[in-house]
Structure formats: structure tokens, C-alpha cells
């Protein structure tokens, strides 16, 4: 749901700016406060349906346009984010800073580990399973990552998230050493 809030807030802000409207102008047209509209645009609050209807009317768009292309989506066993998939995020506290959304996913982590990993060319290891959700951020080089029956090609800037319980292993036949940051979100096993 958080991902849909980000898309919704970003879409409202984009349309408002395309219409050359300030937050206050939109507030005046909707009867909402500029503060509430800012919270919606910066995905800090969940707007009600009547509020969204008012925003759509004030922006002179169909309500459906705010949700176009937005679905709950098919659950996948892994998620890959390429540099071109990143989207700029405006944060009110981020003046003169650049934020880029790489990945946001709900995690039920108990313990987190962060490792810097280098993967030399050639065979590395057999596929393994872990008790962790894993996030890999490729800093340099290129290599493939096997997850179950999938082989995913990765290059610098890619971000891969998956359930470590699935058998997985890197493969590097690129001829160069690759470097990545590996985040392990270790789940509590209950034993």
C-alpha cells in the first residue's frame, strides 16, 4: 500500500505543477488545508475517497486518472530495480538535496546485516538458502544472479530484493570483478 501512496502523492503533485498551481491555490479550490495537501503529496497521510474526489475535481481530471496503471500487482519471488526505474522524490525537508527512490518494500526484519561483497570472475559457490530477506545493490561491474530457476543479469546501479529462503547464488562470467552492497534482513525463526 505504501507504494501506491507514493505513486498517488507524486501523481497529484505532478498534475498540480503541470497546471501551474501552488499548494495554496489547490487548497482554496478543494477547501482543504495546504498542510494536508502537502502531507498527501509527500505520502505522509492516507487521503479518504471524498478528499481524492475533491482533489481530482479541483485539478479538472477524472478521479480514475489518479489511479491509472496502479494495481496491487502480482506478487513476485524477487524484485529488480534498474537505474532507469528510479523516480525522483521531493521531500519538504530535503531542500537542495536530491532524493531518488530506489526501493521501498515492507519488511519484517528482526536483525539487519550490511556487507560489502566482491564477486570475482568464474565459479563462486553452489546455490544456498538463508533465513533472511536479501537486498543487493550493485556498485560496479556486471554479473548474473540465480534465484530458483531464474537467471537475472545485473549491472551497476541495479537493486535486487528477494526471499533468501529461495535457492540463490551469483554467477560471474563477465571477466571482471563486480562489487555490491548486500543487506540481510534476518527473520526470527520462532525456535
Residues 19 and 43 in one domain: yes
Do residues 24 and 93 share a domain?
no
pLDDT digits (tens, 9 = 90+) for 25-48: 999 999 999 989 988 887 778 888
Domain boundary among 67, 92, 110: 67
For the chain, give the longest Cα–Cα distance.
63
Average pLDDT over residues 75-88: 71
Based on the number of CB atoms within 10 Å of its own CB, is 109 exposed (0-12), middle (13-18) or buried (19 or more)? Answer: middle
d(CA 98, CA 75): 30
Please give the Cα distance from 121 to 119 (Å, whole number).
Answer: 7
Same domain as 169, residue 138: yes
Q: What is the pTM of this model?
A: 0.53
Same domain, 119 and 36: no
Q: How confident is the model at residue 109 (pLDDT cuts 50, 70, 90)?
A: very low
Mean pLDDT of 14-22: 92
Are 58 and 116 contained in the same domain? no
If one counts the domains in the chain, the total is: 2
Q: How far apart are CA 140 and CA 169, in angstroms?
A: 18
Residues 84 and 165 in one domain: yes
Banded model confidence at residue 189, pLDDT cuts 50, 70, 90: low
* 159 three-state secondary structure: strand
Q: At what angle do helices 49-58 and 34-41 cross, to 10 degrees?
A: 100
Q: Judge contact between 141 and 121, C-beta under 8 A.
A: no
Predicted pLDDT at 26: 95
Same domain, 49 and 132: no
The domain boundary residue, chosen from 67, 94, 114: 67
- The domain in which residue 151 lies consists of 74-191
Listed residues 67, 89, 112: the one ending a domain: 67
Mean of all residue pLDDT scores within the chain: 81
Q: Does one domain contain both 52 and 80?
A: no
Which CATH number characterizes residue 147's domain? 2.60.120.10
What does the buried/exposed string (b/e) look like for 61-96 if buried means 16 or more CB atoms within 10 Å of the residue's CB? beeeebeeeeeeeeeeebebbeeeeeeebeeeeeee
Residues 180, 107 within the same domain: yes
Q: What's the pLDDT at 51?
A: 93
pLDDT at 142 over 60: yes
Q: Do 20 and 106 fall within a single domain?
A: no
User: pLDDT at residue 99 above 70?
Assistant: no
Amino acid at each position: 500500500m505504501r507504494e501506491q501512496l507514493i505513486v498517488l502523492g507524486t501523481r497529484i503533485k505532478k498534475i498540480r505543477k503541470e497546471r501551474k498551481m501552488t499548494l495554496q491555490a489547490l487548497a482554496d479550490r478543494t477547501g482543504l488545508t495546504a498542510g494536508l495537501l502537502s502531507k498527501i503529496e509527500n505520502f505522509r497521510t492516507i487521503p479518504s475517497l471524498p478528499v481524492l474526489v475533491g482533489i481530482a475535481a479541483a485539478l479538472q481530471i477524472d478521479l480514475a486518472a489518479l489511479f491509472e496503471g496502479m494495481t496491487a500487482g502480482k506478487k513476485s519471488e524477487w524484485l529488480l530495480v534498474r537505474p532507469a526505474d528510479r523516480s525522483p522524490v521531493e521531500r519538504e525537508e530535503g531542500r537542495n538535496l536530491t532524493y531518488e527512490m530506489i526501493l521501498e518494500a515492507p519488511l519484517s526484519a528482526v536483525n539487519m546485516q550490511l556487507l560489502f561483497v566482491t564477486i570475482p570472475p568464474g565459479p563462486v559457490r553452489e546455490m544456498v538458502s538463508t533465513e533472511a530477506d536479501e537486498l543487493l545493490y550493485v556498485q560496479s561491474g556486471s554479473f548474473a544472479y540465480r534465484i530458483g530457476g531464474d537467471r537475472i543479469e545485473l549491472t551497476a546501479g541495479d537493486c535486487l530484493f528477494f526471499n533468501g529462503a529461495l535457492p540463490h547464488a551469483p554467477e560471474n562470467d563477465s571477466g571482471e570483478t563486480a562489487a555490491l552492497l548486500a543487506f540481510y534482513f534476518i527473520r526470527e525463526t520462532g525456535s
